[in-house]
């Protein structure tokens, strides 16, 4: 190899090395910036604004109280008391962790989609029946323990027959007599939250009272809708929600049948609550959705078990 | 070097604070339409308001039992 060629090769190798080094330096810088950004995000998450405001109030408050004792000043004492109290209050009433409401739809969508596929695959044309569970404190033999779980039975045809106690107790997914599937209601988790907020067993509340309490919990405690109306009518319960958090499930492009069959998580939670409260089988007779999915109306019927 | 506020002063301060907090917590829990975007722990705020209210009542009771 001639010396000139060797030099050229060496130069090209150097250039390549330089480019690689430059690229690596750039990447390292970029990563460092990202790390810094992430660190500041973590810091922000750890110290929310209310904590900062709390410190801003608390420090001069305590100082003012101390000086009020030294200078025997009532004005300083009042200022100190006020600032200290509000500072402590800001620490106490920190914002609760909120997540975007659309996450509920996204999380629930997969479950509804799966149920939809199962229903389509098995060619089921029936209805959904919310079966009340046995009270948690009731004694049941080991082989009947499955009856303490709340289930929703989706029948294969529109016949009114219900699965036998033995079959329900087995906690099976596919039921044979009558044909259908028994699933966990999509609103069961929400119902558990409602009960936790209520601080009492839902079975111990009167139905008329429940129609007043549930909308209040949904609106004031969980902000799941802008307006909720629940009315006890003759052998049925009427529910109306305006701008509910899971309305997008009804407006989904895939037109999920299971959402109309089982109800959205909110509608399903109320069906579970009614079934648990009355001890009767509850079915969703009809769900009416306005064209913009703002208003959702549901009618629940009781079936004597 | 004594604390410059008497029991009456503290009682007055507690009364004013309790009224402010009770009205705030009541407004926050009743008007969901306007207060829906305020993200604070309302239960704790209500508890704090009640605690201040009870403290005021205690100071009143102390003053009633021992007026001087």
Query: How close A199 gets to chain B, by Cα (Å)?
Result: 14
The predicted-structure confidence for A140-177, as pLDDT tens digits, reads as follows: 776 676 677 888 888 888 766 777 777 777 778 888 87
User: What are A108's two structure tokens?
Assistant: 């629930």
Integer Cα distance of A93 and B32 in angstroms = 18
Domain range for A255:
102-303
Place of tokens 């199962």: A118
A73 to chain B: which residues are within 8 Å by CB? 4
Rounded to two decimals, the pTM is: 0.64
Q: Are A205 and A277 in contact (CB under 8 A)?
A: yes
Which of B23 and A303 is assigned the larger pLDDT? B23
Q: How many domains does chain A have?
A: 2
| ipTM of predicted complex | 0.82
Whether A274 and A133 have beta carbons less than 8 Å apart is answered as no
DSSP string, A5-53: HHHHHHHHHHHHHHHHHHHHHHHHHHHHHHHHHHHHHHHHHHS-HHHHH
Q: Which of A78, A98, A218, A219 to mutate to test the interface with B (most CBs of B within 10 A)?
A: A78
Edge to edge, the sheet with strand A236-242 lists A174-175, A180-183, A151-155, A128-131, A281-289, A295-303, A236-242, A227-233
- Identify the pLDDT of residue A60: 94
* Same domain, yes or no: A233 and A169: yes
For β-strands A236-242 and A295-303, DSSP reports them as antiparallel
> What are φ and ψ of residue A289, in 5° steps?
-120, 130
Suggest the residue from B6, B28, B39, B49 to mutate for an interface test with chain A (most A CBs closer than 10 A): B39
Number of cross-chain residue pairs from A and B with Cβ atoms under 8 Å apart: 57
The residue of chain B nearest to residue A68, with distances taken between CA atoms, is B4
Judgement on whether residues A136 and A35 belong to the same structural domain of the protein: no
Mind listing the pLDDT tens digit for each residue in A237-277? 999 999 888 888 887 766 788 888 888 999 999 999 998 88
Q: Are residues A178 and A72 in the same domain?
A: no
Token pair belonging to B47: 């508890």
| CATH number, domain with residue A136 | 3.30.1380
User: In this structure, is residue B42 part of a structural domain?
Assistant: yes
Shared-domain flag, residues A253 and A161:
yes
**What is the domain range of residue B30?**
7-65
Proportion of chain B above pLDDT 90, given as a percent:
40
pLDDT of B14 higher than 90:
yes
For chain A, residues with pLDDT lower than 70 are: 1-6, 8-9, 12-18, 43-48, 95-99, 142-143, 145-146, 159-160, 253-254, 304-305
What pLDDT is recorded for position A63?
A: 94
Could you give the number of structural domains in chain B? 1
Q: Do A148 and A78 fall within a single domain?
A: no
pLDDT band for position B53 (50/70/90)? very high
Q: For chain B, say whether A45 makes contact (Cβ under 8 Å).
A: no
Query: How high is the pLDDT of residue A46?
Result: 62
Decide if B49 is inside a domain.
Answer: yes
Nearest CA-CA distance, residue B30 and chain A, Å = 8
């Amino acid at each position: 190899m001639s010396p000139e060629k060797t030099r050229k090769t060496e130069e090209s190798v150097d250039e390549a090395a330089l480019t690689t080094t430059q690229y690596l330096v750039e990447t390292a810088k970029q990563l460092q910036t990202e790390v810094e950004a992430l660190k500041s995000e973590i810091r922000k998450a750890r110290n929310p604004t209310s904590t900062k405001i709390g410190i801003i109030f608390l420090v001069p408050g305590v100082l003012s109280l101390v000086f009020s004792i030294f200078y025997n000043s009532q004005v300083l004492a009042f200022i100190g008391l006020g600032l200290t109290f509000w500072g402590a209050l800001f620490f106490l009433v920190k914002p609760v962790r909120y997540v975007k409401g659309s996450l509920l739809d996204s999380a629930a969508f997969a479950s509804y989609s799966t149920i939809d596929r199962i229903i389509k695959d098995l060619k089921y044309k029936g209805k959904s029946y919310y079966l009340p569970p046995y009270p948690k404190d009731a004694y049941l033999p080991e082989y009947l323990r499955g009856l303490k779980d709340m289930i929703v039975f989706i029948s294969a045809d529109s016949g009114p027959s219900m699965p036998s106690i033995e079959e329900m107790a087995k906690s099976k997914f596919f039921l044979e007599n009558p044909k259908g599937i028994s699933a966990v209601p999509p609103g069961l988790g929400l119902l558990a939250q409602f009960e936790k907020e209520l601080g009492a067993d839902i079975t111990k509340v009167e139905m008329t009272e429940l129609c007043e309490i549930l909308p209040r919990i949904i609106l004031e405690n969980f902000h799941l809708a802008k307006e909720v109306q629940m009315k006890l009518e003759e052998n049925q319960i009427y529910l109306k929600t305006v701008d509910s958090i899971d309305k997008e499930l009804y407006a989904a492009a895939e037109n999920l049948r299971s959402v109309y069959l089982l109800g959205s998580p909110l509608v399903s939670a109320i069906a579970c609550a009614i079934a648990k409260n009355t001890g009767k089988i509850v079915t969703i007779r009809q769900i009416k959705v306005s064209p913009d999915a703002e208003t959702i109306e549901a009618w629940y019927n009781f079936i004597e078990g | 070097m004594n604390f410059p506020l008497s029991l009456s002063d503290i009682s007055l301060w507690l009364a004013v604070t309790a009224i402010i907090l009770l009205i705030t917590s009541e407004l926050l829990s009743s008007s969901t339409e306007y207060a829906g975007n305020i993200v604070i722990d309302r239960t704790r705020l209500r508890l704090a308001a009640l605690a201040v209210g009870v403290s005021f009542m205690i100071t009143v009771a102390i003053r009633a039992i021992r007026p001087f």
